[in-house]
């Protein structure tokens, strides 16, 4: 299987010294231990105590081989024990390649802490031809999360003309099955990030379609792309996308349905694929707001990447991804505020604000899924509203659903996978804010003064989902990171890939 460019080499190794000595860096985890002796506790000056995590045999042989008292050395750094903090020791011994030991804080050793530690490990070798062995995680579930985060931390992307970034090697103390899962999911996160980072002059809707075709061919999954006159039934996609003559819209349908899958549950994922969002005539102001808008297709990138991972993960679930790709430009063919458009299935929308374009393209995708594909689950992923970021910041995506059980499950898997989501309410009282005098619905909340942009956007989408089990993820905050830190680079995060692959595998 082909990996994105510069994707690290990942290898499974046993937790023993022999296998670690072929790497330049060895990462070991440590934790702060509470002093449980009541007599010592009464002493105000009790020092913090630390404990190294992992196989006693491995720890012992490292100490012996390199003639080093790890705990003593660690104390010298006055660590806090916080997950992801790290300290380095130069070490050497005859006939070994290893030259550094990295001691990594594991916090409370929760899965979230193991992810933070993983990001630190990956960042250490990012863009370098170096190798690191990590022994931070002890259970297989933790090891998978740790390994995926390590691979995420090593992410690098640029279009510089100089030498290309180098490929690191990450040795993981993990089962071969867990390694396979890690490879599939981490490569999918990289793929999504690559798509998000690509600038809009390259990443036209046609380019997105070509990319999806490559994925489909590689993975032996089926694909259908609709362009030009045949797009007519998709009124929202056409109205938004015809604003750009140079980069006209594409509807992309990619389906994972192996032989014998006809009676498996069917999931349809709809992704917002706005390759650049100027706002159209309702232009984004201040213009700084426009700078990040090449990332407005992060939903489409996520759902495509999820499907790309399925042949390896092999869930007994049929999955169709619909990528609603269009550029929202300003031109003589752009839509006007006050236009009325007809979506797939016939619902009409009065376009009050051309910057609320994501919901227009999603409406066609959701209606197509509901009416034509009749899925058991209908999920959309979209960088839909600035309000979602105002409400929840950049660590949690906003989740909307009428289905309590499904929402609870996705919330739980969000914490487990690292793509955290918070359920928001579909407030019926706000539905009337979308009433239009001349069409079935307005594309923005014009009436009432509810100030709940992410909620009213979700209520707009709900009009197109029929009676399906539907979930909407507003990833405007989580799809892009403003800082290069932890698991995320500055730019596209690949949010949604871990959550959706984990959820689909659980069905």
- DSSP bridge pairs for 327: 276
Name the residue number minimizing CB distance to Zn ion: 277
Residue nearest Mn ion, CB atom distance: 355
Active site residue 359: yes
CB of 252 to Zn ion, least distance (A): 18
Residue 336 annotated to the active site:
no
Residue matched to tokens 């390694």: 179
Residue 442 binding partner per list ligand BES, Zn ion, Mn ion, none, with a CB distance cut-off of 5 to 8 Å that depends on partner kind:
none
Number of residues that bind Mn ion (CB under 5 A): 3
Cite the DSSP H helix spans in 27-110: 38-41, 56-66, 70-76
Among 113, 356, 426, 452, binds ligand BES (CB under 6 A): 356
Q: Rounded to the nearest whole angstrom, what is the least distance from the CB of residue 298 to Mn ion in the complex?
A: 13
Residue closer to Zn ion, measured from CB, 52 or 361: 361
For ligand BES, give the closer residue by CB, 113 or 196: 196
419: contact with Zn ion by CB under 5 A:
no
Out of 115, 181, 219, 359, the active site residue is 359
Ramachandran class of 182: left when φ > 0, alpha when ψ lies in -120 to 50, beta otherwise? alpha
Element (H, E) at 25: strand 25-33
Q: Output the CA–CA distances (angstroms, integers) from residue 441 to 130, 233, 408, 501, 505, in the order listed.
A: 56, 18, 30, 34, 37
The verdict on 385 binding ligand BES (CB under 6 A) reads yes
Residue 133 dihedral angles phi and psi, to the nearest 5°: -110, 130
Task: Choose the one of ligand BES, Mn ion, Zn ion, none that binds residue 481, judging by a C-beta under 5 to 8 angstroms depending on kind.
Answer: none
CA separation, residue 295 to residues 63, 382, 384, 475 (Å): 47, 10, 11, 11
- The distance of closest approach from Cβ of residue 17 to ligand BES in the complex, given in angstroms and rounded to an integer, is 48
Pick between residue 253 and residue 355 the one whose CB is nearest to Mn ion: 355
Residues in the chain: 507
CA-closest candidate to residue 113, choices 88, 139, 89: 139
**Which residue, 384, 408, 409, is CA-closest to 397?**
384
Taking CB under 5 A as the criterion, the residue among 24, 296, 380, 474 binding Zn ion is 296
Q: Is 327 in the site for Mn ion (CB under 5 A)?
A: no
Site for Mn ion in 249-308 (CB under 5 A): 277
Q: Which is nearer to Zn ion, 126 or 480 (CB)?
A: 480
Count of CB atoms within 10 A of residue 428's CB? Answer: 8
What is d(CA 408, CA 412) in angstroms, rounded to the nearest whole number? 6
Question: Which of 253, 277, 364, 487 lies at the binding interface for Zn ion (CB under 5 A)?
Answer: 277
Q: Where would I find the H helices in 67-157?
A: 70-76, 111-125, 140-153
3-state secondary structure labels for all residues of 475-502: CCCCCEECCCECCECCEECCCCHHHHHH
Does position 335 interact with ligand BES (CB under 6 A)? The reply is no
Binding site partner of 353, from Mn ion, Zn ion, ligand BES, none, Cβ cut-off 5-8 A by kind: ligand BES
Closer Cβ to ligand BES, 294 or 468, answer by number: 294
Please list every residue from 84 through 103 that binds ligand BES, using CB under 6 A.
none
Residues 6+ apart with CB under 8 A from 414: 397, 399, 420, 421, 499
Of positions 273, 299, 358, 375, contacts Zn ion by CB under 5 A:
358
| 354-383 binders of Mn ion (CB under 5 A) | 355, 357
User: Minimum CB separation from ligand BES for residue 443, in Å?
Assistant: 8
Binding partner at 387 among Zn ion, Mn ion, ligand BES, none, C-beta below 5 to 8 Å by kind: ligand BES
User: Which of these ranges, 119-127, 380-388, 429-437, 465-473, lies near ligand BES under the rule CB under 6 A?
Assistant: 380-388
**Which one of the listed residues 123, 284, 420, 468 is annotated catalytic?**
284
How are strands ordered across the β-sheet holding 348-350?
A: 340-342, 348-350, 441-442
Degrees (nearest 5) of the Cα angle 442, 448, 453? 65
Q: Output the smallest distance, CB 227 to Zn ion, in A.
A: 21
474 is a contact residue toward ligand BES (CB under 6 A): no
- Whether 66 contacts 101, CB under 8 Å: yes
Number of residues that bind ligand BES (CB under 6 A): 15
Q: Check if the beta carbon of residue 122 is closer than 8 Å to that of residue 151.
A: yes
Q: Determine, following the binding rule CB under 6 A, whether residue 353 of this chain makes contact with ligand BES.
A: yes
Strands 421-423 and 397-401: parallel
Nearer Cβ to Mn ion, position 355 or 364? 355
Minimal distance, residue 358 CB to ligand BES, in Å = 4
Q: Dump the DSSP string for 333-377.
A: TSPPTT-EEE-TTS-EEE-S-TT--HHHHHHHHHHHIIIII--SE
- 236-295 residues in contact with ligand BES (CB under 6 A) are 277
Residues numbered 291 to 330 that lie near ligand BES (CB under 6 A) are 296
User: Is 320 or 383 the residue whose CB approaches Mn ion more closely?
Assistant: 383
**Partner from ligand BES, Zn ion, Mn ion, none binding residue 22, C-beta < 5-8 Å depending on class:** none
Q: Which residues contact 75 (CB under 8 A, 6 or more apart)?
A: 47, 50
Q: How far is the CB of 282 from ligand BES (least distance, A)?
A: 7
Q: What residue ranges bind ligand BES (CB under 6 A)? A: 277, 296, 353, 355-358, 383-387, 444, 453, 476
Active site positions, annotated: 284, 359
Would you tell me which residues interact with Zn ion (CB under 5 A)? 274, 277, 296, 358
Q: Which residues bind Mn ion (CB under 5 A)?
A: 277, 355, 357
């Amino acid at each position: 299987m082909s990996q994105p460019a510069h994707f690290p080499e990942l290898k499974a190794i046993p937790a023993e010294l022999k296998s670690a000595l072929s790497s330049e860096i060895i990462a070991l985890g440590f934790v702060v231990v509470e002093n449980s002796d009541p007599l010592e506790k009464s002493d105000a000056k009790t020092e913090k105590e630390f404990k190294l995590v992992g196989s006693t045999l491995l720890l012992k042989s490292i100490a012996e081989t390199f003639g080093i008292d790890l705990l003593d050395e660690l104390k010298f750094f006055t660590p806090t024990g916080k997950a992801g903090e790290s300290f380095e020791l130069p070490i050497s011994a005859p006939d070994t390649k290893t030259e550094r030991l990295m001691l990594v804080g594991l916090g409370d050793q929760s899965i979230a802490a193991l992810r933070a530690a993983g990001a630190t490990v990956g960042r250490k070798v990012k863009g370098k031809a170096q190798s690191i062995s990590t022994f931070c995680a002890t259970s297989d579930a933790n090891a998978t999360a740790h390994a995926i985060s390590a691979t995420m931390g090593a992410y690098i992307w640029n279009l510089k003309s100089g030498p290309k970034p180098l490929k690191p090697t990450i040795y993981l103390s993990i089962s071969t099955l867990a390694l396979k899962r890690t490879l599939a999911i981490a490569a999918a996160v990289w793929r999504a990030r690559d798509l998000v980072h690509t600038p809009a002059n390259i990443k036209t809707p046609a380019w997105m379609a070509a990319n999806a075709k490559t994925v489909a061919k590689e993975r032996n999954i089926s694909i259908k792309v609709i362009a030009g006159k045949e797009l007519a039934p998709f009124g929202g996609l056409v109205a938004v996308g015809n604003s750009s003559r140079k980069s006209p819209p594409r509807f992309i349908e990619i389906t994972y349905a192996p032989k014998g899958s006809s009676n498996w549950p069917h999931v349809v994922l709809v992704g917002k694929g706005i390759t650049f969002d100027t706002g159209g005539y309702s232009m984004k102001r201040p213009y700084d707001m426009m700078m990040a808008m090449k990332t407005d297709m992060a939903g489409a990138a996520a759902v495509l990447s999820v499907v790309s991972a399925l042949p390896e993960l092999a869930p007994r679930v049929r999955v169709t991804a619909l990528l609603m790709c269009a550029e929202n430009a300003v031109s003589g063919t752009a839509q006007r505020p006050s236009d009325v458009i007809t979506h797939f299935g016939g619902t009409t929308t009065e376009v009050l604000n051309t910057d609320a374009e994501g919901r227009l393209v999603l409406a066609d995708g959701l209606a197509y899924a509901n009416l034509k594909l009749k899925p058991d689950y209908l999920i959309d992923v979209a960088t839909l509203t600035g309000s979602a970021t105002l409400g929840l910041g950049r660590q949690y995506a906003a989740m909307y659903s009428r289905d309590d059980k499904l929402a609870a499950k996705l919330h739980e898997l969000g914490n487990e996978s690292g793509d955290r989501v918070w359920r928001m309410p579909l407030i019926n009282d706000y539905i009337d804010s979308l009433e239009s005098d001349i069409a079935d619905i307005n594309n923005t909340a014009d009436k009432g003064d509810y100030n709940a942009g992410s909620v009213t956007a979700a209520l707009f989408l709900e009009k197109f989902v029929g009676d399906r089990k539907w979930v909407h993820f507003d990833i405007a905050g989580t799809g892009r990171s403003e800082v290069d830190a932890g698991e995320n680079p500055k730019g596209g995060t690949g949010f949604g890939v871990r959550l959706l692959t984990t959820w689909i595998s659980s069905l």
